[in-house]
Structure 1
Amino acid sequence: MDSFIGIRFKKKTAKRFQQFSRTHFRTHTEAMAEMLDFFFYNEISPQERLGPTGRTIEASLKKRINAVIAIMRDMEKTQTKPTVAMIQSLFETEEPKNKPLILEKKFVEHKKVARFREKQKPNNEL
């Protein structure tokens, strides 16, 4: 079994470390070893900022998604629906109403009665 050594920490920092260690690890030694390994293997310093957090990334994504939704709704209102209505009206198969042209004259067809008949020749005159 390894021996222990005492390290002096400020009371506030020691309490924070103990609380963190109890929630994530079995012992304080294991917690400290894992934290040191993390910084060593990832070649980062604890003083560096790793960039935006998950919450800030999520908030910016939500803003962009809302902007895209607004653009799509606007396109639907101004472009898609009117275009669909025009195309649909083109493909409707209603029979066109036959309206007579203004210049067209309406003639009523009557049976014309012949006023004169040709005289029929007798068959034996050939």
Structure 2
Amino acid sequence: MDQGYEKEKFETFKIKTSVAKKFRNYCRTISKSQSMTLRHMVDFFEMNGVSPQDNLGDTISTLKGQVIKRSNAVIAIIKNIEKIHHKPTTAILQSLFEETSNIDKEDEDSFEFGTPTLITENEELEYYKKAYYKTQETNNDLKKDIKELLKNIKYVRNNFGMGHYRLNITKETLEHFKQKFENVYNNNPTETRR
């Protein structure tokens, strides 16, 4: 008897003889009663949302085989990518990190920090005063040089177009100004140009 259905009574169906024989043979192959086999079939169709007329194409076992083949192919591709791309790149990066760590250790060993000299507050104040006066002096010199250059600029009117300004100084004077400006910027670096 079917477990859980012992007290239910039987119902008869009218089906063709060939279909009944085929159904009974199928029930024997799966070792279930006719009632339970039919119940499992109906549950299968309802649970999977499939109709008995639907053709699923390949059997589930062949679909499973195809999925396994595809997953094996994906695994092979991933291993190949790892072997060809990731391992060499990782090795290169690792060797670079080892080299930089060796360079850093050598630099630390070769460079020694001396003991800092302590200065008093007055010495520090004097240092900043001198630096301030030196900057002021340089600034005043630059102002004088710019005024000198501006004195030597003359407006020239052009007959066939726009007028322009001409700087009336010698080549040596211009070179002297260039050198002076370069010395100012090279000897007194700003915060960003250290």
TM-score bracket for the superposition, by shorter chain length: 0.5 to 0.7
- 1:28-66 deviations in Å (ceiling 9; x for gaps): 221112212432454422332177733322221121022
Instruction: Please give the TM-score of this superposition, normalised by the length of structure 2.
Output: 0.38
SS of residue paired to 1:45: coil
| Contact kept? 2:45, 2:51, Cα under 8 Å | yes
Q: Distance in 2 between matches of 1:41 and 1:12?
A: 24
Question: What residue in structure 1 maps to residue 77 of structure 2?
Answer: 67
Question: What residue in structure 1 maps to residue 18 of structure 2?
Answer: 9
Higher share of residues assigned strand:
2
SS of residue paired to 1:49: coil
| Pairs within 5 Å for 1:86-105 | 86-92=96-102, 93-94=105-106
Instruction: Choose which of 34, 38, 45 in structure 1 pairs with 2:44.
Output: 38
| Contact kept? 2:24, 2:34, Cα under 8 Å | no
Q: Distance in 1 between matches of 2:48 and 2:97?
A: 60
* 1:48 matches 2:58: no
Instruction: Choose which of 92, 99, 103 in structure 2 pairs with 1:82.
Output: 92
Quote the offset at 1:6 in angstroms: 6.7
Question: What residue in structure 2 maps to residue 58 of structure 1?
Answer: 68
Question: What residue in structure 2 maps to residue 29 of structure 1?
Answer: 35
- 1:71-100 deviations in Å (ceiling 9; x for gaps): 0121234311022112211111347xx9xx
Q: Distance in 1 between matches of 2:36 and 2:73?
A: 41
Quote the offset at 1:67 in angstroms: 0.6
SS of residue paired to 1:72: helix
Q: Distance in 2 between matches of 1:84 and 1:43?
A: 55
Matched-pair identity in %: 16
Residues 9 and 18 of structure 1, relative CA distance in 2, 3 Å threshold: farther
SS of residue paired to 2:93: helix
Partner amino acid, structure 2, of 1:2: F
Partner amino acid, structure 1, of 2:69: A
Residues 72 and 41 of structure 1, relative CA distance in 2, 3 Å threshold: closer
- After the TM superposition, list the runs of 4 or more consecutive aligned residues in structure 1 that deviate by more than 3 angstroms: 3-7, 10-14, 40-43
Partner amino acid, structure 2, of 1:83: L
Deviates more, 1:36-45 or 1:8-17: 8-17
Corresponding residue pairs, total: 92
- Gaps in structure 1 of 5+ consecutive residues: 99-126
